[in-house]
Amino acid sequence: MTVYLLCFAGGLRRDDRAYVRHYLGWCAGDPELRLAEHRAGRGSLLVRAAVTAGLTPVIVRQWPGQTRQLERHMKRMRQLPTFCPRCSPRPRQLRYAHVPADTHPAR
């Protein structure tokens, strides 16, 4: 089980005020396979809309060995851009019980 962070370069315009640039997800298997499902339109509506708009979602961070509990915790924090190594010069480290060192895939 892995929690993963997707980044959409450029962002997806959501309304007159906001751009959506990140998506946090959870999967029981390989995050790369889950990303392929997202890109094929079998994932979240947000990622589907980003792909339709021509944006390319990229996995920028992973927290292996985690459950949906961590995913919910991070979504409630509402600070996903601070965890992104592409968008933040000093990406934030997650301080949460039972979280091993996260992994940064090659950019």
Grade residue 4 by pLDDT with cuts at 50, 70 and 90: very high
Contacts of 23 (CB under 8 A, 6+ apart): 5, 6, 8, 44, 46, 47, 50, 57
Supply the pLDDT for residue 7: 92
pLDDT digits (tens, 9 = 90+) for 72-91: 988 888 888 889 998 888 88
pLDDT tops 90 at residue 9: no
Return the amino acid letter for 4: Y
The one-character DSSP state at 103 is B
Q: What does the pLDDT average to over 14-30?
A: 79
Cβ atoms within 10 Å of 104's Cβ, excluding its own: 12
Grade residue 105 by pLDDT with cuts at 50, 70 and 90: low
CA geometry: angle at 30 spanning 98 and 8, to 5°?
90
pLDDT digits (tens, 9 = 90+) for 31-88: 999 999 998 888 888 888 888 888 889 999 999 988 888 889 888 888 888 899 988 8
